[in-house]
């Protein structure tokens, strides 16, 4: 690891690398550091959840100009991925955006990154479980029983949690298998669709009344969040083998693979399903499969693919939701209990996250249409971008502060442009989340300030108590 950076105000201690064994991290046969394939699968699996199965229909009303917006967003996501790779080379430890923000701007910025990322993770897990039940209902009708629906949603959440509690060895295995099972059928649809491609199905380039710029911006607002998860390898850097090298490679490879699959599937569905039908479709992949191969089994096939996709995403996000609090707790910014680690996994973080997500899921099904679940999910679209902004700003800080041990001078211009592009992409994510999400998300962030005040006060009291004890019982002179 590089030498500790100089904090803006007071010196910030260098975070302890997670690879250093601790009393809680017992290791053993269930602990295994991720290699490049599994780290790449983690990025790919977390970027591509269940949204891909609705994406073509969501942007169809804007016309094929939405593909232009997708291309712009892909460039922004790749810039962010490259920035995470650069940052991981300097800080190859668990925590990702939290570590970078804290190193550059101090404890408070680091806490905000950890807090906002943690909120995003457990609320998103609840959302994924609820969405997965919708697809499960196609295979096993559950809509007639609220109890059965809740039980299914909780089972979908707890199975990935149990895989995490079993250790990183099983997390990696589940992630790799889920990614393969998810990508094979998606790629089959994407490539197979070109054999049934008809340009007449594409519809107009710009279907609405907006200007070209307005159509790109409007479709981008829907597509923006399809890239959330590019930070996955960076957040788990402490569990990645040779993180200085593999985190950056996994991040870029995973993002490129996800982008290629997004583009192939969107173009394939656009050219297979007539535009007017696609605009009103609630299951565009099912419609495409039915048109390609005939029969009515498309819905079942898509439901199976979606379930595998979401279980893989839940497996990865459950790990990430525990890693950031673990890193923050290790530095005294989250309760110490989050540092408990077994078999390479922060077990308390996993348990707290899955319990909170389970409670939110139960509330969603019992509160009725007046519940706040949809609002909370909308808030996560804002909270997810806060760590991105802070990470890009941290890279800019390192580059412009002239820290020789952190800046590759031969690549200074290129790295600066990448960091600025990543920062702009993150701002676009914030803008795309909407006024309501930004307003409510800021309230969530400010609620975390109270937690920070409590933890800072405890750290101060502990430090003061230690100083007092030393004053009463000074160390004997040599």
Largest Cα–Cα separation, the chain: 89
Give the pLDDT confidence score for residue 258 in this predicted structure: 87
pLDDT confidence band for 429 (50 / 70 / 90): confident
Could you tell me if 424 and 91 are in contact, meaning their C-beta atoms sit under 8 angstroms apart?
no
Give the pLDDT confidence score for residue 477 in this predicted structure: 47
Could you tell me if 179 and 316 are in contact, meaning their C-beta atoms sit under 8 angstroms apart?
no
SS3 210: coil
Contacts of 149 (CB under 8 A, 6+ apart): 133, 137, 142, 143, 365
> Average pLDDT of 166-180?
69
- Give the residue, 45 or 191, on which the prediction is more confident: 191
- Give the residue, 26 or 80, on which the prediction is more confident: 80
> Average pLDDT of 8-29?
39
Q: Quick one: tokens of 330?
A: 């290790």
Give the pLDDT confidence score for residue 51 in this predicted structure: 67
Say how far apart CA 123 and CA 113 lie, in whole Å: 16
- Give the residue, 270 or 224, on which the prediction is more confident: 270
Alpha-carbon dihedral angle through residues 260, 261, 266, 271, given to the nearest 10 degrees? 90
**Which residue do the tokens 């800072």 mark?**
456
Please, what sign has the CA dihedral across residues 334, 336, 338, 342? positive
- Give the residue, 142 or 2, on which the prediction is more confident: 142
Q: Is the pLDDT confidence value at 55 over 70?
A: yes
Burial zone of 241 (CB within 10 Å; 0-12 exposed, 13-18 middle, 19+ buried): middle
Among 50-59, 70-79, 214-223, 397-406, the least confident range: 397-406
CA–CA–CA angle 46, 52, 57 (5° rounding)? 160
Say how far apart CA 131 and CA 444 lie, in whole Å: 23
Q: Is the pLDDT confidence value at 389 over 90?
A: yes
Contacts of 85 (CB under 8 A, 6+ apart): 234, 247, 248, 249, 251, 252
Give the pLDDT confidence score for residue 409 in this predicted structure: 64
Give the pLDDT confidence score for residue 410 in this predicted structure: 66
Could you tell me if 170 and 160 are in contact, meaning their C-beta atoms sit under 8 angstroms apart?
no
Closest to 53 (Cα-Cα) out of 367, 388, 272, 307:
307
Give the pLDDT confidence score for residue 394 in this predicted structure: 92
Total Cβ atoms within 10 A of residue 233: 36
| pLDDT tens digits, 279-316 | 887 778 878 888 887 776 766 777 787 788 788 778 77
Closest to 56 (Cα-Cα) out of 296, 310, 303, 261:
261
Alpha-carbon dihedral angle through residues 382, 384, 389, 390, given to the nearest 10 degrees? 120
What is the model's pTM? 0.76
> Average pLDDT of 191-200?
84
Give the pLDDT confidence score for residue 248 in this predicted structure: 83
pLDDT confidence band for 265 (50 / 70 / 90): confident
Closest to 95 (Cα-Cα) out of 74, 128, 75, 121:
121
Give the pLDDT confidence score for residue 101 in this predicted structure: 92
pLDDT confidence band for 433 (50 / 70 / 90): confident
Q: Is the pLDDT confidence value at 204 over 70?
A: yes
| pLDDT tens digits, 322-367 | 888 888 888 888 888 898 888 777 888 889 999 998 998 888 788 7
* HSE toward the beta carbon, residue 327, CA cutoff 13 A: 39
Mean pLDDT rounded to a whole number for the chain: 78
Could you tell me if 46 and 124 are in contact, meaning their C-beta atoms sit under 8 angstroms apart?
no
> Average pLDDT of 54-83?
87
Q: Is the pLDDT confidence value at 408 over 60?
A: no
End-to-end Cα, the chain, rounded Å: 34
Among 271-275, 379-383, 422-426, 456-460, the least confident range: 379-383
Could you tell me if 80 and 230 are in contact, meaning their C-beta atoms sit under 8 angstroms apart?
yes
Q: What percent of the chain has pLDDT over 70?
A: 82
Could you tell me if 248 and 96 are in contact, meaning their C-beta atoms sit under 8 angstroms apart?
no
Could you tell me if 455 and 107 are in contact, meaning their C-beta atoms sit under 8 angstroms apart?
no
Fill in the DSSP letter of residue 51. Answer: G
Q: Is the pLDDT confidence value at 32 over 70?
A: no
> Average pLDDT of 101-117?
91
**Which residue do the tokens 């998810």 mark?**
182
Q: Is the pLDDT confidence value at 17 over 50?
A: no
Could you tell me if 361 and 157 are in contact, meaning their C-beta atoms sit under 8 angstroms apart?
yes
Query: Averaging pLDDT over each range in 143-152, 251-260, 461-470, which range is the top one?
Result: 251-260
> Average pLDDT of 437-445?
85
């Amino acid at each position: 690891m590089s030498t500790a950076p100089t904090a803006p105000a007071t010196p910030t201690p260098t975070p302890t690398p997670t690879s250093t064994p601790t009393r809680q991290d017992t290791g053993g046969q269930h602990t295994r550091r991720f290699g490049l394939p599994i780290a790449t699968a983690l990025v790919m699996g977390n970027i591509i959840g269940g949204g891909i199965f609705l994406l073509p229909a969501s942007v169809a009303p804007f016309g094929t100009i939405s593909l232009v917006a997708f291309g712009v967003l892909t460039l922004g996501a790749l810039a962010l991925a490259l920035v995470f790779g650069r940052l991981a080379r300097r800080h190859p430890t668990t925590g990702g955006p939290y570590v970078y923000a804290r190193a550059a701007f101090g404890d408070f910025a680091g806490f905000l990154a950890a807090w906002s990322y943690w909120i995003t993770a457990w609320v998103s897990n609840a959302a994924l479980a609820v969405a997965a039940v919708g697809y499960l209902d196609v295979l096993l009708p559950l809509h007639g029983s609220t109890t059965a629906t809740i039980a299914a949603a909780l089972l979908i959440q707890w199975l990935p949690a149990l895989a995490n509690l079993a250790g990183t060895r099983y997390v990696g295995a589940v992630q790799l298998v889920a990614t393969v099972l998810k990508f094979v059928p998606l790629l089959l649809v994407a490539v197979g669709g070109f054999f049934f491609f008809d340009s007449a199905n594409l519809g107009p380039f710009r279907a609405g009344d907006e200007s070209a710029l307005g159509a790109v911006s409007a479709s981008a607002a829907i597509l923006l969040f399809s890239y959330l998860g590019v930070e996955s390898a960076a957040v788990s850097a402490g569990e990645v083998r040779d993180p200085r090298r593999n985190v950056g490679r996994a991040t870029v490879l995973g993002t490129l693979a996800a982008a290629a699959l997004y583009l192939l599937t969107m173009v394939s569905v656009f050219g297979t399903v007539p535009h007017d039908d696609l605009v009103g479709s609630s299951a565009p992949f099912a419609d495409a499969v039915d048109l390609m191969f005939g029969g009515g089994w498309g819905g079942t096939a898509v439901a199976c693919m979606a379930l595998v996709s979401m279980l893989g995403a839940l497996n990865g996000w459950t790990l990430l939701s525990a890693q950031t609090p673990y890193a923050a707790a290790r530095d005294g910014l989250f309760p110490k209990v989050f540092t408990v680690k077994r078999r390479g996994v922060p077990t308390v973080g996993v348990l707290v996250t899955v319990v909170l997500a389970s409670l939110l899921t139960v509330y969603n099904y019992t509160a009725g249409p007046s519940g706040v679940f949809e609002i909370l999910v909308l808030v996560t679209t804002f909270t997810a971008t806060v760590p991105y902004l802070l990470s890009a700003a941290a890279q800019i800080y390192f580059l412009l502060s002239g820290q020789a041990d952190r800046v590759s001078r031969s690549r200074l211009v290129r790295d600066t442009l990448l960091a600025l592009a990543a920062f702009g992409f993150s701002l676009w994510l914030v803008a795309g989340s909407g006024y309501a999400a930004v307003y409510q998300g800021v309230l969530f962030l400010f609620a975390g300030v109270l937690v920070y005040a409590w933890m800072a006060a405890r750290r101060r009291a502990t430090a003061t108590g230690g100083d007092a004890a030393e004053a009463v019982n000074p160390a004997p002179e040599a």
